[in-house]
Amino acid sequence: MKSKVLLIYTGGTIGMMQDAKTGQLKPFDFKHLTEQIPELNKFDVALSAISFEKPIDSSDMQPTVWVEIARMIEKNYSKVDGFVILHGSDTMSFTASALSFMLESLSKPVILTGSQLPIGTIRTDGKENLITAIEIAAAKKSGKPIVSEVCIYFEYQLYRGNRTHKYNAEHFQAFQSANYPVLAEAGVHLKYNISALAKPSNKKLKVHTSLNPNIAILKVFPGITENVVQAILSSKNTKAIILETFGSGNASTQKWFIEALKKAIDKGVIIYNVTQCNAGAVEQGKYATSAAFKKIGVIGGSDITTEAAVAKLMFVLANSKNNKEAEKLLKSNLRGEIS
Ligand code: ASP
C-alpha cells in the first residue's frame, strides 16, 4: 500500500515562480505541482495537495491562520498517513510551535518545510527540502509512521518544530535546534535519531483551536528605561509577558524594575522568564540577579525558545481556568518543548 501524503501550501518563497512578463515572484498553481517538480512522479507515494486561496508571506502569519491549518489537518487526518506544510521560513518556527500545542495526541507526521530560493530557480534549495519532507511524511516502519510529531525539515536536517529558531537569513541552513538533538539527517541515507523522536500517541487526535494572543515580549538590555518597561507591563488587556533575559535568566536588580514586575504580577499578569541566548536554560536563583524573580513569582521558562514560548502562552492562556493552572501548564513539558 502506497503511503498517502497531503501537501498544504500556505505561501512563502518555496511556492513562488518568476512571472515571465513582470519578473515578479508569484505563487505557482499547486494543481500543477508535478510540472514544477517532475521528480515527484517517481515517488512511491500517493500525493495530494491543497493550497491557501491567497498564499501568504509568512511574515503575515496570524493565530487565525494556525487555526485554519490545524482544521485542515483535522479534516484530512484519517485520510492520509502524513502532512507536509509548505510555509515561509520567517515564522516557520512559530507555526511549528503553535501546531505542536494545538495538535494533542498526534500519531502522524506533520512536517513543515520551505526554502530560501523559489522552486523555479536553478540553485533552489526547495526541491530537496520538499522531496525529503515528503519522504519523511510517508516513512513507515512495521506499518507505523516513523515520525509522529510536528517537525521542520530544512537543509538535510529534521528538527522538533517547537525547538527551532530561524537564525540565518542567508545560508540554506536557516534553522537551529540548540537545546534538542536533530531528529533525522539526510545524507546518502535518511538516518533517524530514533531515541530522540516523540512516541506516537495511542489516543485520538484532539485539535485545540482556542488561542489567546494577548501577550507581549519585554526584551531587556542595559539601559532599558522605566518608561518602556512600564508601557509594556501596563499595556491594555495583556495577560502574559515573556521577559527575555540575559544568560541563565538574569536581569537588572534595580529597585524600580523588580517593583514594576511585582506590581504587574500582583495585578494578575503572568511573567515568563525566557533567555535571550540560543542555547542553555533559565535557572532562576542561580545568580543574585535572578533571585528576586523567583521571590516575586516570575515563572522560569527553562530552555524554551522564544518562538515556542509565544505559542505556549497563547495556548495556555486560552486553555486554563486561572493563573494557577496556567502556571502549572507553563512549568510542564507539554509537547517536548522543554527538557
Ligand atoms: N519572507 C518569506 C516568508 O517567510 C521567506 C521565506 O519564504 O523563506 O514567507
Residue 90 in contact with ligand 1 by CB distance below 6 A: yes
How far is the C-alpha of 274 from the C-alpha of 276, rounded, in Å? 7
Asked if 190 and 326 sit in the same domain, the reply is no
- Give the ligand 1 atom nearest the CA of 59: 4
Which among 299, 291, 306 has a CA at the least distance from the CA of 273? 299
- Give the three cell numbers for residue 137: 511524511
Residue 321 placed within a domain: yes
Asked if 228 and 202 sit in the same domain, the reply is no
* End residue of a domain, out of 189, 207, 225: 207
Asked if 166 and 310 sit in the same domain, the reply is no
pLDDT of residue 22: 87
Asked if 175 and 55 sit in the same domain, the reply is yes
Q: State pLDDT tens for residues 271-317.
A: 999 999 999 999 998 888 889 999 999 999 999 999 999 999 999 99
Give distance in angstroms: CA of 249 to centre of ligand 1: 31
Asked if 272 and 314 sit in the same domain, the reply is yes
- Give the ligand 1 atom nearest the CA of 56: 9
Cβ-Cβ contacts under 8 Å for 123 (sequence gap 6 or more) = 117
pLDDT of residue 168: 95
Q: State pLDDT tens for residues 140-162.
A: 999 999 999 999 999 999 999 99
pLDDT of residue 27: 75
Asked if 198 and 248 sit in the same domain, the reply is no
Residue 129 in contact with ligand 1 by CB distance below 6 A: no
* End residue of a domain, out of 207, 236, 267: 207
Cα separation values, 60 from 86, 88, 111, 233, Å: 15, 10, 20, 25
pLDDT of residue 152: 98
Residue 8 placed within a domain: yes
User: Is 164 designated active site?
Assistant: no
Residue 13 in contact with ligand 1 by CB distance below 6 A: yes
Q: Which domain holds residue 45?
A: 3-207
pLDDT of residue 145: 96
Give distance in angstroms: CA of 218 to centre of ligand 1: 25
Low-confidence ranges of the chain (pLDDT < 50): none
pLDDT of residue 232: 98
Asked if 54 and 24 sit in the same domain, the reply is yes
Domain count, the chain: 2
Asked if 71 and 194 sit in the same domain, the reply is yes
* Given the residues 13, 91, 164, 305, the one annotated as active site: 13
Residue 114 in contact with ligand 1 by CB distance below 6 A: yes
- Give the ligand 1 atom nearest the CA of 89: 8
